[in-house]
């Protein structure tokens, strides 16, 4: 299967970038090993079947282990306006949460979906929040765009919300055409939830099943939700806020249907 995963974004840094090093702070030979930040993007939400006509802000995670991109990004500051081209990637991550009752630190596993930048450029700095948001609005067409080719991993699920909105969601499996530095050699696939609305949801529901191949043009949505965690030490329940990055298609092309998904590939990696 061909591989295609192309993301374009013009956005604003939500916070200063967070830098992780290979050695402690007092070691002058330390080098950065990972840089990440949240990037605020804007999208109109009427074009792909949603009821609302609002503009919406989302702030997905941008994460890199590439030395030259890390060096550029680590100089950036909160509020900088940046242009980025990259791919959407995923990894198994661990989130630490503290029990409010007894203070026990619990590790919650999650599938982290993030942007892997390939090209970055700072365009403006020093705008105040209002100026930056006005600027972002004028760039809504290119602020949050993704084109991705993948395979429907599980059975698409159609449901209707109380407001009458029809939604289909499914997990997409996308093959990676590159290797991310620091990631497992064998990690060659990314997984992300796709959520379609309205007419696209209707046709997705009719056309897609496990193993279908799709070419999606869409946008990223970051959704926060609450989850109940049970503390392994004191056994009490507490609420954890988690977030999920999903793709909202505005166009889905159905390439091939009924292809078994679990087939092992023998094809050699290109890099
Ligand atoms: Zn506890």
Three-class DSSP labels, the chain: CCCCEEEEEEEEECCCCEEEECCCCCCCCCCEEEEEEEEEEEEECCCCCCCCCCEEEECCEEEECCHHHHHHHCCCCCCCEEEEEEEEEEEEEEEEEECCCCCCEEEEEEEEEEEEEEEEEEEECCCCHHHHHHHHHHCHHHHCEEEEEEEECCCCEEEECCCCCEEEEEEEEEECCCCCCCCCCCCCEEEEEEEEEHHHHHHHHHHCCCCCEEEEEEEEEEEEEEEEEECCCCCCEEEEEEEEEEEEEEEEEEEECCCCCCCCCCCCCCC
Question: What percentage of the chain exceeds 70 in pLDDT?
Answer: 88
Residue 163 has pLDDT above 70, yes or no: yes
**Which residues line ion ligand 1, judged by CB < 5 Å?**
99, 101-102, 104, 231, 233-234
At residue 244, the pLDDT reads 93
Distance (Å) from CA 92 to ligand 1 centroid: 25
At residue 54, the pLDDT reads 72
Distance (Å) from CA 144 to ligand 1 centroid: 40
Q: Quick one: average pLDDT of 191-206? A: 94
Distance (Å) from CA 96 to ligand 1 centroid: 13
At residue 217, the pLDDT reads 95
Distance (Å) from CA 237 to ligand 1 centroid: 8
The answer to whether 189 touches 173, Cβ cutoff 8 Å, is: yes
Distance (Å) from CA 227 to ligand 1 centroid: 16
Distance (Å) from CA 232 to ligand 1 centroid: 7
At residue 266, the pLDDT reads 43
Distance (Å) from CA 109 to ligand 1 centroid: 18
Distance (Å) from CA 146 to ligand 1 centroid: 41
Residue 8 has pLDDT above 70, yes or no: yes
Distance (Å) from CA 225 to ligand 1 centroid: 21
At residue 268, the pLDDT reads 46
Q: Average pLDDT of the chain?
A: 88
Kindly report which listed range (17-26, 40-49, 52-61) carries the lowest average pLDDT score.
40-49
At residue 257, the pLDDT reads 52
Kindly report which listed range (8-17, 49-58, 152-161, 162-171) carries the lowest average pLDDT score.
49-58
Closest CA to 12 of 82, 72, 114: 82
Distance (Å) from CA 38 to ligand 1 centroid: 30
Q: Quick one: average pLDDT of 68-97? A: 93
Distance (Å) from CA 91 to ligand 1 centroid: 28
Give me the half-sphere count of Cα atoms (radius 13 Å) on the Cβ side of residue 264.
1
At residue 235, the pLDDT reads 92
Kindly report which listed range (81-85, 124-128, 243-247) carries the lowest average pLDDT score.
124-128
Distance (Å) from CA 238 to ligand 1 centroid: 9
Distance (Å) from CA 112 to ligand 1 centroid: 25
Distance (Å) from CA 108 to ligand 1 centroid: 14
At residue 202, the pLDDT reads 94
Distance (Å) from CA 231 to ligand 1 centroid: 5
Residue 125 has pLDDT above 70, yes or no: yes
Q: Which band of pLDDT confidence, cut at 50, 70 and 90, is reported for residue 265?
A: very low
Q: How many CB atoms lie within 10 A of CB 145?
A: 19
Per-residue model confidence as pLDDT tens digits over 130-158: 888 888 888 888 899 999 999 999 999 99
At residue 34, the pLDDT reads 95
Per-residue model confidence as pLDDT tens digits over 223-233: 999 989 888 89
């Amino acid at each position: 299967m061909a591989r295609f995963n192309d993301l374009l974004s013009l956005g604003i840094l939500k916070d200063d970038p967070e830098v992780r090093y290979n050695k402690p702070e007092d070691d002058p030979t330390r080098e950065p090993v990972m840089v990440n930040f949240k990037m605020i993007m804007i999208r109109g939400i009427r074009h792909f079947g949603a009821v609302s006509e609002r503009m919406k802000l989302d702030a997905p995670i941008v994460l890199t282990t590439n030395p030259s991109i890390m060096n550029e990004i680590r100089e950036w500051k909160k509020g900088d306006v940046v242009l980025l081209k990259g791919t959407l990637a995923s990894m198994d991550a661990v989130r630490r949460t503290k029990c409010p009752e007894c203070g026990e630190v619990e590790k919650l596993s999650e599938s982290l979906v993030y942007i892997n930048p390939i090209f970055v450029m700072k365009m403006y700095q020093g705008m105040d929040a209002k100026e930056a948001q006005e600027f972002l609005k004028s760039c809504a067409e290119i602020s949050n765009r993704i084109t991705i080719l993948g395979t429907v991993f599980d059975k698409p699920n159609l449901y209707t919300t109380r407001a009458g909105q029809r939604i289909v969601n499914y997990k997409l499996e996308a093959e990676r055409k590159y290797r991310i530095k620091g990631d497992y050699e064998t990690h060659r696939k990314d997984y992300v939830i796709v959520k379609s609305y309205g007419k696209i949801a209707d046709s997705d529901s009719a056309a897609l099943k496990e193993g279908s191949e799709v070419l999606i043009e869409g946008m990223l949505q970051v959704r926060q939700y609450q989850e109940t965690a049970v503390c392994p030490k004191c056994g009490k329940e507490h609420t954890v806020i988690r977030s999920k990055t999903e793709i909202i298609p505005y166009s889905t092309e159905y390439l091939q249907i009924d292809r078994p998904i679990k087939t092992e590939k023998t094809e050699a990696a290109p890099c």
